[in-house]
């Protein structure tokens, strides 16, 4: 059976994804009926599943999460600049001619959450980015473009941090340091945890000396995945400590607008999810 205008989120695992709830809440704002489902598929079956969805099931758009973001970028026929910079895609859209476009809205979503929801003016900040995976790469460019004064990238595997800094090509403002040196690289106004440690039930061992007075800490993870980093941030004296729930809602809004041409209200959905996660 074909489904006109189907939408989905692909991941593995995916059963706990909030994306279906978020997209249905957005659709309700416009009185739309939305066919949006979760598709759990292992990496080896991913390409076939995506082709089937878009070619046989009326697929119009898909959100993509771990572990498929690199594969989504590779599969697409065309890619936005943000996706190309990140090397990953979190949104796929079927174009009118049937080809697939890859987008990466993670970086813009994170910066919008910080600057608009949490009222932070990033200009002039010294920012520390922990991690250099797909999400970190997206976030690095967006933080830079939002005007941070310096961006220091530290990754457990230093090569990935160096590759990101090299790709950005801004040696006066973007630097890398070794993870082992976190205790003696000074303090930062903004510390972003873009590692997947929390999602993997691992905790980072971070020195309190990283936190400048009035610092903001931000974990891309949310709910349980962010507990450990945010607890460290508060114990170390951070002025603000935010999880990535707002980023999740913002990136969903970007996908919704790409697919439906309408901008949903994110704040009501964010507040609802936040209340449910307490």
Residues 178/154, Cβ–Cβ less than 8 Å: yes
C-beta neighbour count of 183 within 10 angstroms: 11
Residues between 18 and 47 with contacts to ligand NDP, criterion CB under 6 A = none
Binding of ligand NDP at residue 163 (CB under 6 A)? no
- Binding-residue pattern over the window 141 to 160 for ligand NDP, x denoting contact by CB under 6 A: --------------xxx--x
Which of 42, 200, 231, 235 contacts ligand NDP by CB under 6 A? 200
What six digits make up the tokens of 204?
Answer: 């980072």
Report which residue's Cβ sits closest to ligand NDP. Answer: 133
Active site residue 69: yes
Asked whether the bond before 13 is cis by omega within 30 degrees of 0, the reply is: yes
The SS3 of residue 108 is helix
Q: Taking CB under 6 A as the rule, does residue 205 contact ligand NDP?
A: no
Structure tokens at 111: 């910066």
Residue 202 is a binding residue for ligand NDP (CB under 6 A): yes
Does 197 engage in binding with ligand NDP (CB under 6 A)?
yes
How far are the Cα atoms of 153, 158, 195 from residue 175, in angstroms, in the given order?
6, 12, 18
Q: Is 201 helix (H, G, I), strand (E, B) or coil?
A: coil
According to CB under 6 A, which one of 114, 127, 151, 247 is a site residue for ligand NDP?
247
Whole-angstrom distance, CA of residue 194 vs CA of residue 198:
10
Residues in touch with ligand NDP (CB under 6 A): 66, 69, 106, 131-136, 155-157, 160, 194-197, 199-200, 202, 204, 220-222, 225, 244, 247-248, 251
Residues serving a catalytic function are: 69
């Amino acid at each position: 059976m074909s489904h006109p205008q189907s939408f989905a989120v692909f991941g593995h695992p995916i059963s706990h994804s909030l994306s279906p709830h978020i997209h249905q809440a957005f659709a309700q704002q416009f009185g739309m009926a939305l066919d949006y489902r979760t598709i759990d598929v292992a990496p080896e079956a991913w390409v076939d599943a995506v082709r089937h969805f878009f070619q046989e099931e009326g697929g119009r758009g898909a959100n993509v999460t771990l572990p498929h973001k690199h594969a989504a970028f590779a599969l697409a026929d065309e890619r936005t600049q943000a996706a190309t910079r990140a090397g990953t895609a979190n949104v796929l859209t079927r174009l009118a001619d049937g080809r697939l476009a890859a987008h990466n809205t993670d970086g813009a979503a994170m910066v919008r959450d910080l600057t608009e929801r949490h009222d932070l003016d990033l200009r002039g900040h010294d920012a520390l980015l922990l991690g250099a995976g797909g999400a970190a790469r997206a976030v690095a460019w967006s933080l830079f473009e939002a005007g941070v004064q310096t961006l220091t990238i530290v990754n457990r595997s230093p090569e990935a941090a160096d590759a990101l800094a090299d790709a950005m090509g801004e040696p006066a403002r973007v630097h890398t340091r070794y993870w082992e040196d976190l205790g003696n690289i000074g303090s930062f106004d903004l510390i972003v945890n873009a590692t997947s440690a929390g999602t993997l039930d691992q905790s980072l061992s971070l020195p309190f000396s990283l936190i400048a007075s009035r610092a903001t800490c931000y974990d891309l993870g949310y709910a349980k995945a962010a507990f450990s980093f945010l607890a460290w941030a508060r114990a170390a004296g951070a002025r603000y400590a935010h999880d990535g729930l707002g980023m999740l809602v913002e990136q969903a809004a970007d996908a919704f607008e790409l697919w439906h041409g309408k901008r949903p209200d994110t704040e009501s959905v964010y507040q609802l999810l936040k209340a449910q996660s307490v």
